[in-house]
């Protein structure tokens, strides 16, 4: 049986930035022991050992990302095809590079274009509505 890790990144105190964490929260209780769900907040490096020890076949990373498109648009990226330093709202490039080198497994980034990541604001309605959509994308990709 294949093993998967789903990492939700983001800080819920920064409006739409908490999106990845909310998707992981939504997914809780939907999987067997072959799926590890991690709410990494804005410190994904704190979970490297846990991810490496789980030894997944595939990792999904959910985060707000800067890309051309409409607010609330969802895109799936191969980390090798994008410059993470300019796309991610977090410093995720070292985290992803480490996982690729250490595990050699497939990694997919699932990004959403945020309306705002301003500190102290609530998640915008347009972004909140997309939580279920991304949860479904993850489930479909795991259960395909």
Q: Can you give the pTM of this predicted structure?
A: 0.93
* Alpha helical stretches, state H, 5-130: 19-27, 48-54, 84-87, 93-103, 125-128
Instruction: For the chain, give the percent of residues with pLDDT over 70.
Output: 93
pLDDT for 84-110, tens place per residue?
665 565 567 788 889 999 999 999 999
Give how many domains the chain has, as a whole number.
Answer: 1
- H or E element at residue 132: helix 131-143
Model confidence at 30, in pLDDT bands (50, 70, 90)? confident
Model confidence at 141, in pLDDT bands (50, 70, 90)? very high
What integer pLDDT is reported at residue 119 of this predicted model? 92
What integer pLDDT is reported at residue 13 of this predicted model? 92
User: Which CATH number characterizes residue 88's domain?
Assistant: 3.40.50.1450
- Domain of 135, in residue numbers: 4-143
């Amino acid at each position: 049986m294949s093993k998967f890790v789903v990492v939700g990144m983001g800080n819920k105190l920064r409006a739409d930035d908490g999106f990845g964490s909310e998707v992981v929260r939504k997914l809780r209780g939907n999987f067997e022991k072959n799926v590890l769900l991690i709410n990494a907040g804005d410190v994904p490096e704190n979970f490297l050992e846990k991810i490496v020890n789980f030894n997944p076949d595939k990792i999904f990373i959910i985060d707000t990302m800067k890309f051309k498109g409409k607010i609330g648009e969802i895109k799936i990226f191969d980390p090798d095809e994008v410059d993470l330093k300019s796309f991610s709202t977090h410093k995720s490039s070292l985290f992803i590079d480490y996982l690729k080198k250490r595990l050699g497994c497939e990694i997919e980034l699932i990004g959403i274009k945020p309306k705002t990541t301003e500190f102290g604001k609530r998640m915008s309605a347009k972004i909140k509505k997309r939580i279920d959509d991304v949860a479904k994308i993850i489930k479909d990709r795991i259960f395909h």
